[in-house]
């Protein structure tokens, strides 16, 4: 259980201020949820097809130009002598580098201030002020500085050969999670992956394509939205499942995703667990009481899911031939950062940098209504849900250095 030391920071609100604040929060939250709901009624997720359809918005991501691979960052300890030809990312907003720009959903971040610290200060659809873990993994492994989203039109062969993200903000292991917000379900992310493989076979040949798929790193991260949005947010599944059976269901769905990645040819597969999402600002606001404590119940659920995910991947790993299937923990470091922010140079860990920091997320974090914090680097969270680039960099560096050794060829 996460004991939250930071709540002692005093919140001296007068009672009238407090009631106005609560009213504002409730109205905003209702507004946000209703926008999602109306989006659901009106809009349809584009199904994967053989060719990505017409592009509804111009590609905002700057082309890195003709620059070749970045100078490889210092080899992480344990990296020995392996290079991964490519990185593939699956899951939710933590690794979605912009796929949601190309589908009809309100779970988007392709407007300022999102992206203000991304190269050239452009919003790209990443749910952050800058780069996100999928980018950092590619950067730290010396593959490329940023990982493009698969749905972005005009990807080059080189872009495809070195990897893409299939992830979609708002998705999850529970099939209901992406449906509620019109995100790309995990099953469709796999369909896109298979479509990708066929494309690469088409221009690079079957053998090279299979080599790339089997030697590259496939990273999967999801589950936060199942717990925070579907189970504890809209309570959609709370009546059908207790948390023990819901987390089992999530872990089973994750294991089946792992099996399907394997069947598609992936051989180096890492699943990242859920972070202490009871401590993200919006959970503190919604469930943490007046002092905005961490929502312990949600953290317990995250830990329960992580341990089930770890167990089921471990037992599956023993049956998969020639494959490495690994559970990667970020819960511990994340918790340590929240409990010891000064060690990491963070002054603020319970509010996001965008707006009041209490609720803003997606469309509610925008350049028209949201003031920004003075120093985003001193904040652990960018919006009420997602870490800042600097927090993501710390988290990603740790697991790239410490947890990837099983993937290096002997």
Which range, of 41-49, 61-69, 164-172, 373-381, touches ligand NAG by CB under 6 A? 373-381
For the CB of residue 120, give the shortest distance to ligand NAG in the complex, in Å.
21
Which tokens sit at 245? 């059976």
Q: Does 188 sit behind a cis peptide bond, omega within 30 degrees of 0 on the bond before it?
A: no
Which tokens sit at 138? 């590619």
For the CB of residue 380, give the shortest distance to ligand NAG in the complex, in Å.
10
Subset of residues 14 to 73 that bind ligand NAG, contact rule: CB under 6 A: none
- At residue 224, the 3 state secondary structure works out as helix
Among 26, 43, 156, 375, binds ligand NAG (CB under 6 A): 375
- DSSP-assigned letters across all residues of 348-397: EEEEESBTTSSS--GGGS-TTT--B-S-GGGEEESSSSSB-HHHHHHHHH
For the CB of residue 375, give the shortest distance to ligand NAG in the complex, in Å.
4
Q: Which is nearer to ligand NAG, 111 or 344 (CB)?
A: 344
Which range, of 40-48, 113-121, 372-380, 392-400, touches ligand NAG by CB under 6 A? 372-380
Which tokens sit at 34? 């209703």
Catalytic center residues: 93, 383, 386
The pairing of strands 268-272 and 163-165 is unpaired
Q: Cα(27)–Cα(66) distance, rounded to whole angstroms?
A: 48
Q: Which is nearer to ligand NAG, 56 or 345 (CB)?
A: 345
Would you give the binding string for ligand NAG spanning residues 316-345, x where CB under 6 A is met? -----xx----------------------x
For the CB of residue 139, give the shortest distance to ligand NAG in the complex, in Å.
20
Which tokens sit at 135? 């980018």
Which range, of 119-127, 196-204, 241-249, 370-378, touches ligand NAG by CB under 6 A? 370-378
Which range, of 40-48, 115-123, 293-301, 374-382, touches ligand NAG by CB under 6 A? 374-382
Please give the DSSP secondary-structure letter assigned to residue 226.
Answer: I
Q: Which is nearer to ligand NAG, 109 or 373 (CB)?
A: 373
φ, ψ for residue 204, nearest 5 deg: -115, -10
Q: H-helix or E-strand containing 87?
A: strand 87-91
Q: Cα(106)–Cα(44) distance, rounded to whole angstroms?
A: 11
Q: Cα(387)–Cα(288) distance, rounded to whole angstroms?
A: 19
For the CB of residue 283, give the shortest distance to ligand NAG in the complex, in Å.
24
For the CB of residue 109, give the shortest distance to ligand NAG in the complex, in Å.
22
Among 353, 387, 357, residue whose Cα is nearest residue 372: 353
Q: Cα(29)–Cα(71) distance, rounded to whole angstroms?
A: 45
- Rule CB under 6 A: say whether 378 interacts with ligand NAG: yes
Q: Which is nearer to ligand NAG, 307 or 377 (CB)?
A: 377
Among 41, 81, 120, 235, binds ligand NAG (CB under 6 A): 81
Contact 254, 274 (CB under 8 A): no
Which range, of 7-15, 334-342, 365-373, 375-383, touches ligand NAG by CB under 6 A? 375-383
Q: Which is nearer to ligand NAG, 10 or 81 (CB)?
A: 81
Most distant CA pair in the chain, distance: 69
For the CB of residue 77, give the shortest distance to ligand NAG in the complex, in Å.
14
Please give the DSSP secondary-structure letter assigned to residue 405.
Answer: G
Q: How many residues bind ligand NAG (CB under 6 A)?
A: 7
The residues binding ligand NAG (CB under 6 A) are 81, 321-322, 345, 375, 377-378
């Amino acid at each position: 259980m996460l004991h939250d030391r930071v709540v002692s920071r005093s919140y001296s609100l007068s009672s009238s201020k407090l009631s106005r604040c609560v009213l504002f929060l409730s109205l905003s939250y209702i507004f946000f949820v209703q926008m999602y709901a109306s989006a659901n009624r009106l809009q349809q997720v584009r199904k994967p097809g053989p060719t990505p359809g017409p592009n509804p918005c111009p590609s905002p991501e700057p082309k890195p130009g003709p620059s070749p691979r970045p100078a490889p960052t210092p080899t992480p300890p344990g990296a020995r002598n392996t290079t991964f030809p490519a990185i593939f990312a699956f899951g939710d907003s933590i690794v979605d580098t912009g796929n949601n720009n190309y589908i009809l959903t309100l779970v988007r971040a392709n407007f300022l201030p999102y992206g203000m610290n991304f190269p050239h200060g452009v919003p790209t659809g990443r749910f952050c002020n800058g780069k996100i873990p999928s980018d950092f993994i590619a950067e730290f492994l010396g593959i490329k500085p940023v990982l493009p989203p698969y749905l972005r039109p005009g990807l080059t062969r080189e872009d495809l050969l070195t990897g893409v993200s299939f992830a979609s903000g708002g998705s999850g292991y529970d099939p209901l999670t992406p449906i509620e917000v019109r995100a790309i379900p995990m099953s469709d992310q796999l369909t896109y992956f298979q479509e990708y493989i066929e494309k690469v076979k088409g221009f690079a040949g079957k053998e090279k394509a299979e080599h790339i798929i089997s030697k590259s790193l496939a990273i999967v991260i999801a589950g936060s939205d199942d717990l925070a949005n579907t189970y504890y947010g809209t309570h959609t599944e709370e009546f059908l499942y207790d948390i023990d059976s819901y987390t089992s269901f999530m872990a089973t769905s994750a294991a089946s995703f792992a099996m399907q990645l394997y069947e598609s040819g992936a051989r180096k597969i890492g699943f990242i667990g859920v972070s202490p999402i009871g401590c993200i600002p919006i959970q503190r606001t919604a469930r943490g009481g007046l002092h905005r404590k961490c929502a312990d119940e949600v953290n317990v659920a995250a830990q329960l899911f992580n341990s089930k995910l770890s167990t089921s991947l471990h037992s599956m790993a023993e049956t998969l031939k020639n494959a490495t299937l690994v559970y990667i923990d970020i819960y511990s470091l994340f918790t340590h950062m929240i409990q010891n922010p000064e060690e990491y140079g963070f002054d603020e860990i319970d509010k996001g940098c965008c707006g009041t920091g209490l609720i803003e997320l997606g469309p509610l974090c925008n350049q028209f209504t949201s003031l920004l914090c003075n120093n985003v680097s001193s904040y652990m969270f960018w919006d009420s849900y997602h870490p800042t680039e600097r927090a993501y960099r710390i988290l990603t560096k740790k697991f790239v250095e410490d947890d990837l050794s099983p993937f290096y060829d002997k």
